[in-house]
Chain A
Amino acid sequence: MKFKLFILIVALALLFVPGIAAQGTPAPEEEEFDFERAYQDYVFTLDVYNSVHADYLLSKAQYEQAGTLVAQSKAQEATTKMLETRDDVVTTYLTAIRMRMVEAEGVSDITKNGLFSRIDSEVAWFKDHKKRLPSAGTLADLQADSEEASKRFMELTQTVAYETLSTIPFGKLSLMRTATGGILSDINNKVFQIRANGDKDTAIIERWALEIESKITRSLDKEIEAQALIPNFTSDSRNRNPDHRKTYNEIIFKLDESRQFLRDATEFIEEIIREITTV
């Protein structure tokens, strides 16, 4: 009896100890999914697409030349594979820009969340589209599926992608302008101290400080001009061939102009520092 009890206890121990041991050991850390990881996925998928697209072109040419059922079947298979990979490229690309926005600084959470919801919607659509592709029975069906994806990409997906790419630099510029304003504020405080001490003429320094403020204001004006161009992405998308690239380039150009005003302001700040630190 005692022996049987002993065997039972040993058996129960063998059952539960591994489980307890597993709980004690920490689980292996999952690889952190950041922008770099998402970008690598996108690049890999794009390479796969390029390879599959080449096969599709070959199969298509063979079918159009031969017109046999075998060629048609091969063409259908290659086209399906190409369309699936194309959808993968779009989803991995949208994921990459989403992660880029997650790591962007200076952009408000409201703006980010608005863009995230639109990106997620596009990703979900293309994933669903990919699932429906194998059900296509003919080449004509695949052609229709492709046109559907093309329309979606041109009207909505491209728009949200460009809006996201345009919003990220606004955050950077906003932070730099805030930093410039902070430095100017510190200088004004110091100049006030020096004027109170009366041991240095601060007239010229105060004039330069006004110039700096003017430069910062001009920088902000340029940023507002750039921001006014973002709605053009949505209005352009209604055109058959929207030129989002042109609008994007115009926005970046205006942001560069805004940054130049901040550079001018920093040059004045350096002059002020030199004036303060020398006799």
Chain B
Amino acid sequence: MEKLTGTLLKIPEIVKSALKSKKAVTQPRLSQVEPQQTVQAKLGVQAQPVVQVATAPPPRKLPGIKIPRKIIIAVAALVVILIILMIAMKLFGGKGTGVFPIASPSPSPRPTPEVEVPSQYADDEDVRKIQENMEALDKELNEAEFRDDRLRIPTLDWEVEFEK
């Protein structure tokens, strides 16, 4: 763990050194390319553009933007600290791989069906007869119609008048 921390702390210095070392630019600049001469002027001399390979120009800095070195160091240190914290959370924070677990719905408690133990009167003949009568009565209570819509009073025309 200490080795890892040491390595991470060296990152800003590595970044600094990378920013300092610059590679040479070998691409020629357009202003240094001579224009091709006309055929009439040279009469048969094949004009070829002359390309001069210039030396690497000095590194160009963005005009107006000057980032102090201290700020760069501070930002880099902040990044490092964040990375360390993330690793520490992964190692010591808890289980999981960074994906927030979705809370699964907790199962609602189902009432356990009551187990009815039949008594000695479950097969009693009198009780069975009462049950049969009850079923017949229940059916009658639900099916009986008190209002007979077929026998509604007929609507007839009782107003017979003749206008002369």
Contacts and interface: CB of A to CB of B under 8 A. Distances in A.
A176 interface: yes
Interface string A126-153: 0000000000000110110011011001
Interface residues of B, number: 37
Contacts of B92: none
Contacts of B137: 176, 179-180, 183, 266
A168 B130 contact: no
B160 A63 contact: no
Interface centre among B116, B134, B146 (most CB of A within 10 A): B146
Contacts of B147: 169, 252
B138 interface: yes
Contact of A183 (B134, B162, B163): B134
SS of A interface (majority): helix
A183 B133 contact: yes
B122 A172 contact: no
Given A100-B148, A100-B151, A259-B141, A179 B133 contact: yes
B144 A176 contact: yes
Interface string A237-274: 00000001100000010011001001100100110011
B154 A150 contact: no
A165 B148 contact: yes
Interface string B130-164: 11011011101100101110110110111111111
A277 B118 contact: yes
B150 A39 contact: yes
Interface string A78-104: 010011001001100100110010000
Contacts, number: 127
B117 interface: yes
B119 interface: yes
Contact of A182 (B133, B148, B150): B133
B146 A279 contact: no
Given A200-B119, A266-B141, A279-B117, A183 B130 contact: yes
Interface stretch (A19-27, A114-122, A186-194): A186-194
A216 to B, nearest CB: 12
B160 A142 contact: yes
A100 B147 CA distance: 13
Contacts of A60: 162
Interface residues of A, number: 67
Contact of A89 (B127, B140, B156): B156
A227 B164 CA distance: 49
B97 interface: no
A173 to B, nearest CB: 8
Interface in B88-144: 116-122, 124, 126-127, 129-131, 133-134, 136-138, 140-141, 144
Given A186-B133, A270-B134, A278-B116, A75 B162 contact: yes
Contact of A179 (B117, B140, B151): B140
Interface of B: 116-122, 124, 126-127, 129-131, 133-134, 136-138, 140-141, 144, 146-148, 150-151, 153-154, 156-164
19 contacts: A49-B156, A60-B162, A86-B156, A142-B160, A146-B160, A150-B159, A153-B158, A154-B158, A158-B153, A176-B140, A186-B130, A189-B126, A269-B130, A269-B134, A273-B134, A274-B116, A277-B121, A277-B122, A278-B118
Interface of A: 39, 46, 49, 53, 60, 63-64, 67, 75, 79, 82-83, 86, 89-90, 93, 96-97, 100, 139-140, 142-143, 146-147, 149-150, 153-154, 158, 161-162, 165, 168-169, 172-173, 176, 179-180, 182-183, 186-187, 189-190, 193-194, 199-200, 244-245, 252, 255-256, 259, 262-263, 266, 269-270, 273-274, 276-279
